[in-house]
Amino acid sequence: MSAPAPSPLAIVDAEPLPRQDEVLTEAALAFVAELHRRFTPRRDELLARRADRRAEIARTSSLDFLPDTREIREGDWKVAPAPAALNDRRVEITGPTDRKMTINALNSGAKVWLADFEDASAPTWENVVTGQLNLIDAYERRIDFTDARTGKSYALKPAEQLATVVMRPRGWHLQERHLQIDGRPVPGALVDFGLYFFHNAQRLIDLGKGPYFYLPKTESHLEARLWNEIFVFAQDYVGIPQGTVRATVLIETITAAYEMEEILYELRDHAAGLNAGRWDYLFSIVKNFRDGGEKFVLPDRNAVTMTAPFMRAYTELLVRTCHKRGAHAIGGMAAFIPSRKDAEINKVAFEKVKADKDREAGDGFDGSWVAHPDLVPIAMASFDAVLGAKPNQKDRLREDVSVAPGELIAIDSLDAKPTYEGLRNAVQVGIRYIEAWLRGLGAVGIFGLMEDAATAEISRSQIWQWINAGVVFENGTLATADLAREVAAAELTAIRAEVGEEAFANGKWQQAHDLLLQVALDADYADFLTLPAYDQLTG
């Protein structure tokens, strides 16, 4: 049975949820409807433009800085100064907006919590609506949680000890099938942004903070311009001052890496910084240059560290760009999940995390991400050592950095090759992540790492690329569709033995196996795994 929304503007096509009326108010849905009618047509044009640009890359196997925007790159301008609540971002924790994570992230000691409605959250309607409720409850200090399994209770620390929230809506490509306006699904980005902004903009101002956002999967400065237009409209709509919104853009697509200055320029009244993503960035390279032949073939994902020459070019250019324009540069994710059983594993992993964060702080980043509260002190120590009492190091202009266009796509500068074990790992992680996602979990611990949707994207993309490039592994085996099927079948058998018959039957293992092979083997490469996966997501 479908429950009608309290507004004639919108149809909510989902089973009613407890307290949904607190989120899906008539006024909030009217705001989302305005966003949808004004901005979805332009979003549609920009998605079509993505396809055109991808076709051009397929034809040329190259990218360059835009000639038409040279004046912006050479101009003398800055983004708006950071508000006090976002001036010190030395450690940021990421995670979905379930009730336990909301409390733990806010209490973690990190300066910022990336409250994620995107890759760390499977977009079931329950996750979409209850995530909004959890954030409202947190701001109203009426949130608590008791773990039914352990009996442990969680509650918020005093306000001055809580992380500042930066909320991440879904990417432009995703629809929200449960909310239709004028007979059409609303883009997930507008649902997430609209409901959060409408309910919390003034509430956050009253708390001395503001409506702050991370913008995912941006592919061009024109997409940043659309977000800026949305911010201008939204601030006028609810009657708060222009410039109250702040947005940090994830540079996690290869095309955006060539438009970092332009992206900041379009958002300059609302820009807070740029972030260096990793798995989505590599996924974007594979997606865009999948026809480019051997020189664009990535090795195993774990062999592509942030010290690879083309990744160094990307991160150093990001720091220089941000600091030149007065914006924060935020580093990548430390995804390790500490073991409660193996101190030696933790010791080795903590050393790697420390080295990674030391490098970022030394390179000039103003902060970085972690996925687990236990990593907050490690990352904090790395940035404290460089920053001291300073909130950031935007005064380090990195004018020593000069990156030529070809350096960002010099994949063959990395001395590593795909391996058979890399194929097996991609299949293992892909199946395990997709299975959890189909059950409504977006942030999943797999083999000691916190994985999200970007993990599955790079896994399936590498399988696709290695097969289509005719890679021969170190053991002499040719990468073929049949080999991928053979490895996937063996993995499914191993999972069945590992979890037991009952858990296997109650899970979505076969479905995940089939979906991974679909998106890894189809000749027609799907733009995003989450598009066919969303059709299979229940709830």
d(CA 272, CA 213): 9
Q: Give, in order, the Cα–Cα distances in Å from 236 to each of 26, 106, 214, 215, 343.
A: 19, 29, 21, 20, 53
d(CA 256, CA 281): 10
Instruction: Give the active site residues.
Output: 168, 452
In 3D space, the residue among 172, 164, 165, 179 whose CA is nearest the CA of residue 116 turns out to be: 165
d(CA 1, CA 104): 35
Q: What residue type is assigned to position 372 of the chain? A: H
In 3D space, the residue among 179, 170, 183 whose CA is nearest the CA of residue 43 turns out to be: 170
d(CA 387, CA 85): 17
Q: Decide: helix, strand or coil at residue 153.
A: strand
**DSSP letter (8 states) at residue 527:** S
- The three-state DSSP-derived secondary structure of 221-249 is HHHHHHHHHHHHHHHHHHCCCCCCCEEEE
252 Rama class: left (phi>0) / alpha (psi -120 to 50) / beta: alpha
Residues 6+ apart with CB under 8 A from 44: none
Q: Decide: helix, strand or coil at residue 264.
A: helix
Long-range contact list for 431-436, CB < 8 A, 24+ apart? 431/488, 431/491, 431/492, 431/495, 431/509, 431/512, 431/513, 431/516, 432/495, 432/512, 433/459, 434/512, 434/515, 434/516, 434/529, 434/533, 435/507, 435/508, 435/509, 435/511, 435/512, 436/122
Angle at 118 between CA 427 and CA 391, to 5 degrees: 110
Q: Decide: helix, strand or coil at residue 158.
A: coil
Structure tokens, 140 = 């109203």
CB 270 within 8 Å of CB 248: no
Task: Kindly give the residue spans of alpha helices, DSSP state H, lying in 97-183.
Answer: 99-107, 125-139
In 3D space, the residue among 234, 239, 225 whose CA is nearest the CA of residue 271 turns out to be: 225
